[in-house]
Amino acid sequence: MSKLAVVAFGGNALLRAEQKGTIEEQENNAYDAGKNLIHLINRDYNLVLTHGNGPQVGNILLANSAGLEKYGIPNMPLDVSVAYSQGFIGYILEQQLRNVLMAEDLDRDIISIITQVLVNKDDEAFQNPTKPIGPYFTKNEADQLTKESNVIFKEDPAGRGWRKVVASPTPLVIFNRRSIEKIAREGHIVIAVGGGGIPCYYVAENKLQGIDAVIDKDLASALLAQQIRADKLFILTDVPKVCIHFNTPQEKAIDRMNISQAKKYLKEGQFTEGSMAPKIRAAIHFIERSGKDTIITDTNLLGVDNGGTRITIV
């Protein structure tokens, strides 16, 4: 019987830090990422793919600003920008994965789903925005924009400038989750919850509305994996294994740990916020609610025996 896996790609699966973001670069990266999925298909996994959108949504916001300044084209809100990114990233992933499947003589439908995710408008995250998005500004530019729009800016820790920060609320419900599960279990590949999903809330009874926020992609992927009863969650990053004492002489790669150990390492501050810590929290979320394993690894080790760090219930 086929198993169901959720595979969470990072934003760098399509656009890497040293690249400009041309369509050719993103297509080549998507093709390379797709080739690694063949290992899972050959192991009888049905697949739901999720993806980050950090670099892409930043570029969309830059284009918004340029269009407003030069042509007076109205800015679109953040939730609409996330929807933009889901559409074009889904298209690139779908097309390049189809090319991979044809090269392997495999025939699967691939369906990209624009995915809304319910959040609570009273989530405490809205009182303390922390998620940086969009371009960098000088302090003077940031101060002026704050006066004009009440947008909150924070300085980048690496000194690259000031960036807008928005709330990162907890995802509660993945819309269309039943259809996502049904399509995937029928043997087709589904792309969903791009960029953590489009955040929305009930502005009134039976009335949904988007909200200016960004949902953590890994946590949304973990929630999706739980809600569609996935057998395994793969969280892909740019290191082969989770490490403690990272970037120190005492660095140690972890082959396997249970969630008690993971919580202990989190409490000790072993994992960096904005990097590995959210992935560990997402793994814990999925494992506690499903009892199934999570694997955190590099894209190139997807499906490789003993590849990555396996996190288990006990």
CA angle, residues 132, 218, 88, in degrees to nearest 5: 75
Token pair belonging to 196: 């953590």
Please give the angle made by the CA atoms of 146, 139 and 132, to the nearest 5 degrees: 70
* Catalytic center residues: 11-12, 131, 217, 279
Contacts of 251 (CB under 8 A, 6+ apart): 243, 244, 245
Helices 276-290 and 217-227: angle between axes, nearest 10 degrees: 10
Q: 32 by DSSP, 3-state: which?
A: helix
Query: What is the distance between the alpha carbons of residues 4 and 101, in angstroms, rounded to a whole number?
Result: 18
- Measured in degrees and rounded to the nearest 5, phi and psi for residue 215 equal -90, 140
SS3 of residue 113 by DSSP = coil
For residues 314 and 291, give the distance between their C-alpha atoms in angstroms, rounded to a whole number.
Answer: 9
Residue 29 to residues 3, 13, 134: CA-CA distances in angstroms? 26, 6, 22
Please report, as a single letter, which amino acid is at residue 154. Answer: K
Within a 10 A sphere around the Cβ of 172, how many other Cβ atoms?
Answer: 13
HSE-up (13 A, CA, CB side) for residue 29: 21
Identify the three-state secondary structure at position 165.
Answer: strand
Instruction: Assign 135 to helix, strand or coil.
Output: strand
